[in-house]
Structure 1
Amino acid sequence: MTSTPDQRVADYRAQLPSHLTPSRRPRRLRTTEAMRSLVRETTLRPADLVLPMFVREGIDAPVPITSMPGVVQHTEDSLLEAARKAADRGVGGLILFGVPATKDAVGSAASDPDSFVNRAIKRLRAEIGDDLVIMADLCLDEFTDHGHCGVLDSRGTVDNDATLVRYREIAIAQARAGVHMIGPSGMMDGQIAAIRDALDAEGFEDVSIFAYSAKYASAFYGPFREAVDSSLEGDRRTYQQDPANGREARQEVELDLDEGADLVMVKPGMPYLDVLRDVAESSPVPVGTYQISGEYAMIEAAAANGWIDRDRAIMESLLGFKRAGASMILTYWSSEVAGWIQDGLPEHLRPFV
């Protein structure tokens, strides 16, 4: 005679020695969704998310980025439309990257007050206002014909201090265009002090600086190179951090804080969760992380092949950053995820809010 499930359970329970019967049962707090929600340690809000966006000069319709399904190079008009949608969904901020039609050795378009990218910032501020935090990437790699983040000398080496002068010029142009926050990503020594000094001298004391303090020379940037039509020659290992180093990030963070950084960042995100946790535990200012293009592309590609549940993988990855200590997350899914939360998550995603 076949036993019932309850009979089988009773038989097995009878065989368990009494001294092995658990006295502490963590599963009691996992019995229902209401119970799990009551004791949940980490939650995700739309305001925790920052949306990276690309605006491209000289196009009349958005251009899809093939290695990042769902992400596009925007026109100025489509940029405004997408930014408004993100703001209405409660996204905390956006960060803008420019894709110029022409480049030169010193990335002139980045600091040109009349360039397409600074014009886009002006339109964002005029039409979006303070509904979310408008940020701009401050770097030269998108704008230089060699694809590096600074000014090159005759040997093809990025000159740190010459580059600081360009960063000061770009910071002033972005501040005049209307950004709330500047994101210096070039990893030049002394860049935060140089930018802070330039902003303050021009009366932009209220423009804050989100320092890319621990930015690693990562293989996960690949799709981003397509997104900004990168002209990179060589690599960036002489200024971005060595992936093997963790303690070094503390020094970079300390230097940026001493120089006036208002927030600090660890980039990439998922491969450097240990660094993120370390920085978050010691930082006196908010800490962000950037879920970069390669991380995005991996989840999208695996989901497209049916190997993972896309939506759950997205939410789980974002929750991992929050659990590690991130106050905010730069992710290309920001607007989509904020929409999910705003509309009320389906049952299988509710454990994430």
Structure 2
Amino acid sequence: MSKSAQALASRTLQSLMLKRFGMAVFTYFLAMALGTVAFIYNHLEIPLSNFLLLNAGVVISQLVFLGLFLSGRNLLFQDPSLTEPQVLVGLVLQTLSLSMLDDARGPMLIMYVLILMFGVFQLRPKVFVRCAIVAFIGFAGLNIVEAYNLKLSRPELAVLEVCVLSVALAWLSLFASYVHSMRQRMRQRRFALQAHQDTLRGMMRQLEDLASTDELTGLFNRRHFLNIASRELSSLRRGHKHGLALIDLDHFKRINDIHGHASGDRVLQTFASVAQTCLRDGDVVARYGGEEFVLLLPDTEPDHFVACCERLREAFSRAEPLGIKVDNLSLSIGMTLLEMGDDLDEALHRADQALYQAKRTGRNRCAAAWASADA
């Protein structure tokens, strides 16, 4: 993955985590609002200074987390979302706030559930259970301490609240485990689907290669070449020219008759190898049929085009097919130029006429049939 792609992925991840952090802050805002209502209606048996100190602790803790997210230091942790620390801080603050309540503790137990719900989709089951245990110990310990100090006004209600909380925490833990297993299965299916898609793409590429490539020589086939040539011709600008040539291996039938078809195939493969070596990147050579090939040189001049074809002819005459001995390898080339507004079929006909001229005048040579007189 490139650095720009990594930076984009990191920014996207940070944006997502900031949104989740915003949800947590909103939950704290709701809790502070409920606490304010409880304080106004005298359900908090604490002075105003302690109430303000608790709210200050909430604000400071969230500012610390916000600083970690904005600075990017959260990415240094194993869990960049800092879900477990946020949940644990929330549980501690919730327990401290409950220690200041009396009759309103029961309704406020729902805040334990809201805090832990924040970690249902992010925490592993063991970590979630650990957080649930912290919540249970905190609330149960609060009641035990008050009972020991004889400050628990309604012990039977406290026992009920502890039991209700334990049931809620147990259910949440089972739900978190179920959600985690579902996410794992979905992730595995997504990976399997991705693997199948990659395999399918590979098969499609292979099919495309088979549909566009000559199996024997590895060059493009006639159909694919015509598609490429048509596309190049349609994008040709005024004043620019493409070179188009038909190439025929001389006396190829005699090679097949004397040495066999396997040797003829080796000669065809030898030409393909020579052509790919002689041509520049962007030049297109394809098997046109039998021992005939076709060549397209985009954006070229007549002199350069002739020199390229001559270089190809001479290189093939010096080639030695692997494993066989064939004397006097040669080829004939018919050349023409493509210009803007030209017709591909007519250009191929001109190249074919030039090829016929090269063969008629002795083979092993290049002949040209230019479209315009000034070429």
TM-score, normalised on structure 2? 0.20
Higher strand share: 1
TM-score, normalised on structure 1? 0.21
Higher RCO, 1 vs 2 (CA within 8 Å, ≥6 residues apart) = 1
Could you say which structure has the larger radius of gyration? 2
